[in-house]
Chains A and B, each alone.
Chain A
Amino acid sequence: MLSIKKRIYLRNRVEEAIRKKDFHKAISAFKEGLN
């Protein structure tokens, strides 16, 4: 389980990518979390 800090960091990156419509970048950020 990732720490809450790491989760917030990843979520911010995901949301930033989604805002820029760069969905593959958003998926990569999630996958980084899974690894």
Chain B
Amino acid sequence: MFIGDIYYFELYDTDSAIFWYEKCIELGRDSLSNDTLSPLRYLLKRLSKIYFDKEDYNKAIKYYEWFISFKPSNFHDTDFVNYAKALLELGNREKAISVLKMGEKYSKSTKIRKMLSELTGEEYDLTDFKRIKNGYERIPIKTPIIKIGDDICEIADKLTKGIRREGDIITLASAVTALAEGRAKSVDVIYASPLAKLLSFFVKKDNYPFGGNAPLCNPLAMQIAINEAGLARIIFSALFGGVLGKLFRKNGLFYRLAGPQSALIDDMPGAIPPYDYYVILGPKDSYKTSLKIKEMTSCDAAIVDANDLGIAWVVGTSDKSKAREIEEALSDNPQGNGDQQTPIVLLRKVNVIN
């Protein structure tokens, strides 16, 4: 799959990419499974998209059908929409609507609702997210795929130029910042120890359709947590945080004891291809990065870890006094580091009572 990725994402040679992706499926047909650790769901994401882009709708549908059958967390809004479009191209309107209805049930995307509304004539709420929250206007900035080794400060400066104003706060998703810093490990180079496997077994698994589990359910992510925080600290956190947390029903105690780097780990498929088969760590020094962005842009900056559970966490900012209000303003996660590709959000103070 990694060879295919180089052809697809670096050399833009889709035919060679298809050859390697399909070869991978063929060679692994007896061992590939719908498990998150298996490369299958990542291969299907790539193949369905490539065939859709090539307008080979029969093959696109074949791969989308296989892919959606696992209800995987990396089946994003664009996948629902493209699958439905492919079905429409082949005249299967009814199935296209049922795919979109399934997407609408599990995703808050307006793309899906918009298409559904056009196809069915029914009314759907088409507002993306509240433009203003906690006294801040949120302006998402679309970025190209951010790659390992990119200069995130330069990207933030370049992409907000002409948009940002004095007093704005530039916020960046922590996972994307970490990725640019090279704080990502491809799964082929992580060896999950028996302890990592054992500890990850005890992490609560939600298994929602099209939703992911807590990253540390994944033994590879747990291994990274052990490497980052140290074996003794993780064992201590698991014994005291995990066990006492369960007894006293106090969530998150493990992460408090294990430290911020453990809480910032994102497992696969948290990112978009080609980094969806990577475990992404927390950024190295978010304060330093925020200060550098401030120096370059004259705007305050913050690195934020937000999720769809209504929690945003400022992991580093150039002005600590603003951390709380930034967290409030981003708590519904308008930063999209998935298919939306908007990991940068500008916060602009507005004089509106919200």
Contact A19 B189 (CB under 8 A): no
With A7-B189, A11-B188, A26-B6 already in contact, 19 other A-B pairs whose C-beta atoms are closer than 8 Å: A4-B189, A4-B191, A8-B189, A11-B186, A11-B189, A14-B2, A15-B148, A18-B6, A18-B148, A19-B149, A23-B6, A23-B10, A23-B11, A27-B3, A27-B7, A30-B2, A30-B3, A30-B6, A31-B3
Contact A7 B3 (CB under 8 A): no
Partner of B6, one of A4, A11, A19, A27: A27
* CB-defined contacts of A19 to chain B, threshold 8 Å: 149
- Residue of A with least CB distance to B1: A30
Per-residue CB contact flags for chain A residues 13-33 toward chain B (1 = under 8 Å, else 0) read 011001100010011001100
Secondary structure class of chain B's binding surface, majority of residues: helix
Can you list 9 A-B pairs, Cβ within 8 angstroms, ordered by A? A8-B189, A11-B186, A18-B148, A19-B149, A23-B10, A23-B11, A26-B6, A27-B6, A30-B2
Chain A: interface residue total (CB-CB under 8 A): 13
Q: B178 to nearest A CB, angstroms?
A: 16
* CB-defined contacts of A31 to chain B, threshold 8 Å: 3
Partner of B188, one of A7, A23, A26, A27: A7
Q: Which residues in B have some Cβ–Cβ distance to A below 8 Å?
A: 2-3, 6-7, 10-11, 148-149, 186, 188-189, 191
* CB-defined contacts of B10 to chain A, threshold 8 Å: 18, 23
Cα distance A29–B189 in the bound complex, in angstroms? 14
Q: How many A-B residue pairs have CB under 8 A?
A: 25
- Residue of A with least CB distance to B191: A4
Cα distance A19–B3 in the bound complex, in angstroms? 15
Q: Which residues in A have some Cβ–Cβ distance to B below 8 Å?
A: 4, 7-8, 11, 14-15, 18-19, 23, 26-27, 30-31
Cα distance A14–B188 in the bound complex, in angstroms? 12
* CB-defined contacts of B3 to chain A, threshold 8 Å: 27, 30-31
- Residue of B with least CB distance to A3: B191
* CB-defined contacts of B191 to chain A, threshold 8 Å: 4
* CB-defined contacts of A23 to chain B, threshold 8 Å: 6, 10-11
Looking at A7, A18, A27, A31, the one whose CB has the most chain B CB atoms below 10 A away is A27
Cα distance A19–B7 in the bound complex, in angstroms? 15
